[in-house]
Structure 1
Amino acid sequence: MDLREELPNDRQAVRDIHLQAFGDHGLVVADLIDSLRDAITPEDGLSLVAEHNGQIVGHVMFTRSLLDAPRRLVEVQVLSPLAVMPELQGRGIGSALVRHGLGTLTERAVPLVFLEGDPGYYSRFGFAPGGGLGFRKPSLRIPDGAFQAIRLARYEPWMTGTLVYAEQFWRHDAVGLREPNA
């Protein structure tokens, strides 16, 4: 399996992975990715794919957001989304993508990475509940345990505060959980 940055001709394969992996929520996620791609530059953000036998089988995206810290705004990254073809889940593809991405962001001197996700899965990479680390979630709709952060090498203790998601997450209503039938 090869891990590499997403190329323009990978777009449809990446979209298909998310449509399959996220079920009913797949269209929102796929559209979010299409919007977030425009914000990624070689210095800011990261979109990685896992390729096996010439086929894209996994994808992860890291995009710029801000931490509203008391001292100043801090540029951080948000890991979202992560997906692997359903028939290949549980084989370490998603883990490999996350580890590769975190390594790249550490090299780029990113201090913090945030996400919304399963603590049972993401804790293996060093993510911990954000509230316990001095961070406030950007929406009350995010379950406390799902709001997670990892402090990388460039983190400094004064970097606390509220995560401010990039505008695309709000535009696609991809923050937290909506109440069904509300």
Structure 2
Amino acid sequence: MHLRRELAGDRASVRHVVTQAFGAEHGAVVADLVDDLRATLTSVEGLSLVAEHEGEVIGHVMFTRGLLDAPRRLVEVQVLSPLAVVRAHQRNGVGSALVHRGLELLAASAVPLVFLEGDPDYYRRFGFAPGGELGFRKPSLRIPDEAFQVVTLGGYQPWMTGTLVYPEPFWRHDAVGLREPGTPTSR
């Protein structure tokens, strides 16, 4: 397996990975979110990585710029979302390798914090902890407390607490937290 930054020629492959990984119900919405988040990435802000196996893209992870509304000032942070691996390669370490590599690269760039919504049993292995227990507030009440997680990196300072503010595309795609079953969404 080879990990690298996403290239412009990878877009269709990444869309396939995301669509397949998130399934019929959510795949297209998450793939559209990735397309819009990609437009917010710059050479110094955000990160999009792919995993290749035998020349085929089999996994993808994206980290995008968010803000922490801290008492002293706004702090630029990163949001890990989404992480996707094609079903045939899940549970083989592809997702773990992508997350580890992304966190290594972000730590080297002085990013203080990385937030996510996800399974605590999965993300704990990377150092993620419940955000609420560390003084952070989630951007939506629809995010389950246990799913709102954060990892501190080298640029973190103890005064950096407050409310996470997601990038606009998450709101536009209604990709924040969970909707009640049977509730219509904007999707």
**Does the pair score TM above 0.5?**
yes
1:99 corresponds to which residue? 100
For 2:64 and 2:7, locate their aligned partners in 1 and report how far apart those are by CA, in whole Å: 16
Aligned partner of 2:178: which letter? L
Aligned to 2:176, the other structure's residue is in SS state coil
Aligned to 2:82, the other structure's residue is in SS state strand
1:15 corresponds to which residue? 15
Structure 1 residue 15, shift from structure 2 partner: 0.4
For 2:179 and 2:62, locate their aligned partners in 1 and report how far apart those are by CA, in whole Å: 23
Aligned to 2:104, the other structure's residue is in SS state helix
1:5 corresponds to which residue? 5
For 2:126 and 2:150, locate their aligned partners in 1 and report how far apart those are by CA, in whole Å: 10
Q: Which consecutive residues of structure 2, in runs of 5 or more, have no partner in the other structure?
A: none
For 1:159 and 1:171, locate their aligned partners in 2 and report how far apart those are by CA, in whole Å: 27
Aligned partner of 1:130: which letter? G
Runs of 4+ in structure 1 over 3 Å off = none
Is 2:147 aligned against 1:169?
Answer: no
Aligned partner of 1:62: which letter? F
Please list, as runs of the form range in 1=range in 2, the aligned pairs for 1:52-67 lying within 5 A after superposition: 52-67=53-68
Aligned partner of 1:168: which letter? P
Aligned partner of 1:89: which letter? Q
For 1:40 and 1:108, locate their aligned partners in 2 and report how far apart those are by CA, in whole Å: 15
Aligned to 2:154, the other structure's residue is in SS state coil
Please list, as runs of the form range in 1=range in 2, the aligned pairs for 1:76-155 lying within 5 A after superposition: 76-155=77-156
Aligned to 1:22, the other structure's residue is in SS state helix
Corresponding pairs, count: 182
For 1:134 and 1:151, locate their aligned partners in 2 and report how far apart those are by CA, in whole Å: 12
For 2:174 and 2:125, locate their aligned partners in 1 and report how far apart those are by CA, in whole Å: 28
* Residues 17-36 of structure 1: per-residue CA shift (max 9 Å, x gap): 11111011111100000000
For 1:137 and 1:153, locate their aligned partners in 2 and report how far apart those are by CA, in whole Å: 22
Aligned partner of 2:114: which letter? V
Aligned partner of 1:48: which letter? L
For 2:152 and 2:98, locate their aligned partners in 1 and report how far apart those are by CA, in whole Å: 18
Aligned partner of 2:90: which letter? Q
Structure 1 residue 180, shift from structure 2 partner: 1.5
Aligned partner of 1:3: which letter? L
Structure 1 residue 42, shift from structure 2 partner: 1.0
For 1:175 and 1:27, locate their aligned partners in 2 and report how far apart those are by CA, in whole Å: 16
For 2:87 and 2:43, locate their aligned partners in 1 and report how far apart those are by CA, in whole Å: 29
Is 2:38 aligned against 1:37?
Answer: yes
For 1:102 and 1:37, locate their aligned partners in 2 and report how far apart those are by CA, in whole Å: 18
